[in-house]
Structure 1
């Protein structure tokens, strides 16, 4: 005899919660936008205690949901209403368009939302000069670039050639199938092993860039990040990268443009004072690459080193 009692009671409760004009006003607003209690108070021109009481009723009956951001609570119409409740609300909402309060509530709601937007605009207007530094302070200087690794094919095997302490490998690894990190310095690789210890898709290998410990065609992408100027024979490095890449595989280079800072040979062990576009274009062609692109990178104001370039190419099929 009790079969169906709970659903019936639930339906009755739904009807009862819609039997108050202020609750209908609240639901109409929350069906269109998300609001805080204080914003609803401003729109409805009702005491906060009254708005809070109605929200509790609507929440208990499953009409609205709440989410928190810090100390702020936002309310919105429940997006997963069961079919009976959804149809009930559609019928009800259809009769409310001409309600005496509908236009006034909608106008005040737009004012509240406009004020919310203006607060964000004001923040950015006041913070424009410091925004980059503030963003870096909040999220780290690499955060804006890290998401770009999501453009990599998740099935790729990537070679970080001249991996050093594994900074780039650590950033790439979450986005691809496998990373082969190669460096000739045991000390650098020891530091990389510590950094990459929890990565289960990284292979650290000691070896020379001119004679990579990588099988032919093993890589889908080869990255040479600020390492080519340390190579005795950059052309051999590029030829080895081509050998290690599968047909159609990609090459990415970041390095210095040609410069005249001779002291770098002594102070930092640089063997090449950067590279010209003509050099890189010819060397990559001879190594078996095509579709070479050379992009000068504008130096950052605080950077003290030479200007950089980025280059991409594809191994011929």
Structure 2
């Protein structure tokens, strides 16, 4: 009862209710909220502290930045969702807040697109050597879904989420989904994509694949998609992914089969030129995971060169 009363008191103030309505729509910083509401930063920060202390908002730190989003799990989350559902859609104050939020999101999207534009040539040069993204995604979905169109993934973690493509692809089938990446620019791209897709059950966080900001045994599915070849110690990355997998949970690794394209080291910072079936399966076993299957998708030859994309599936035993 005390928790519920504290939550009601925290939400029962105009500015804080506006903050909750905004953070229901997007992950926002203090700076974003200050611009939208037109109030001072200290005042907004005080309101945010009250909301976080009452478990109505969650703080997500990315380096020196902190994002705030609506808490979406537990009885207090259910209560606040019911309160927000009662807010009139035509309220002039809320309409103005939403218009300013859209302006902030448009500005953020423009900056993210500029970054993508600056780096698109590099990414496309690599992608032109291997299987079309659509074919890889089709194979990945087929493996995880088992051919069931109504498949569910439970709690999903995407390590090295980049632009958030895996979250956009699979988030609608997950109870919750988290994308982790070290690059703030990539996280901006991912956040924009998720907001555009309306995937409010998905969030992105800045983090290290060797020290994931995720609880032990809390994830149902973990994906490492085209990330392992950048890793200094791939075995450690797989071990860390295994740590957060719940019993019966599955790890999906998507990367290259062994190849000899040395320029990928020099020009694109690849640490490893692909992986054999055996070494990835060995890393999984050492992390107490059971390898289940591998699938190869041959790339398109370009000037006598091509890359094969390989998909590994492993599982943490239920007992």
Per the normalisation by structure 2, the TM-score is: 0.51
Structure 2's unaligned 5+ residue stretches are: 1-131
Q: Deviations over 1:207-250 (max 9, x none)?
A: 11111111111110011111110111111111111111001100
Contact 1:284 1:292 in 2 (8 A): no
Aligned residues: 178
Supply the distance in 2 between the matched residues of 1:290 and 1:172 (Cα, whole angstroms). 23
Alignment of 1:1-317 (within 5 A): 142=134, 145=138, 148=142, 151=148, 153-154=151-152, 156-197=154-195, 198-300=198-300, 305-317=306-318
Kindly state the Cα deviation for residue 291 of structure 1 after the two structures are TM-superposed: 3.4
C-alpha change, 1:240 and 1:300, in structure 2 (3 Å) is same
Deviates more, 1:296-305 or 1:186-195: 296-305
SS at match of 1:213: coil
Higher relative contact order (CA 8 A, sep 6+): 2
Q: Give the gaps of 5 or more residues in structure 1.
A: 1-139
- Pairwise CA distance, 1:153: 4.1
Shift of 1:268: 0.7
SS in 2 for 1:266: helix
Query: By how many angstroms is 1:292 displaced?
Result: 3.4
The 8 Å contact of residues 225 and 254 in structure 1, kept in 2 or not, is answered as yes
Distance in structure 1 (CA, Å) of the matches to 2:166 and 2:272: 22
User: Aligned pair in 2 of structure 1 residues 147, 183: CA closer, same or farther (>3 Å)?
Assistant: closer
- How has the CA–CA distance of structure 1 residues 200 and 183 changed in structure 2, closer, same or farther, with 3 Å as cutoff? same
Structure 1 196/270 Cα, relative in aligned 2: closer, same or farther at 3 Å?
same
SS in structure 1 opposite 2:266?
helix
Give 3-state SS (helix, strand or coil) of 2:191's partner.
Answer: helix
The CA distance in 2 between the partners of 1:141 and 1:270, in whole Å, is 19
**CA distance 1:285–1:256, change in 2 (3 Å):** same
Equivalent in the alignment of 1:33:
none
In structure 2, distance between residues paired with 1:301 and 1:255: 17
Deviations 1:163-191 (A, max 9, x none): 10111111111112111111111110011
Q: Between Structure 1 and Structure 2, whose CA radius of gyration is higher?
A: 1
1:141, CA displacement in angstroms? Answer: 7.5
Quick one: distance in 2 between partners of 1:141 and 1:249? 25
3-state SS of 2:223 partner: strand
Q: 1:189 to 1:305 in 2, by over 3 A?
A: farther
For residues 316 and 266 of structure 1, the distance between their equivalents in structure 2, rounded to whole angstroms, comes to: 39
3-state SS of paired residue (1:196):
helix
RMSD (Å) for aligned C-alpha atoms? 2.5
Q: Write the distance in 2 (CA, Å) between the matches of 1:147 and 1:282.
A: 24
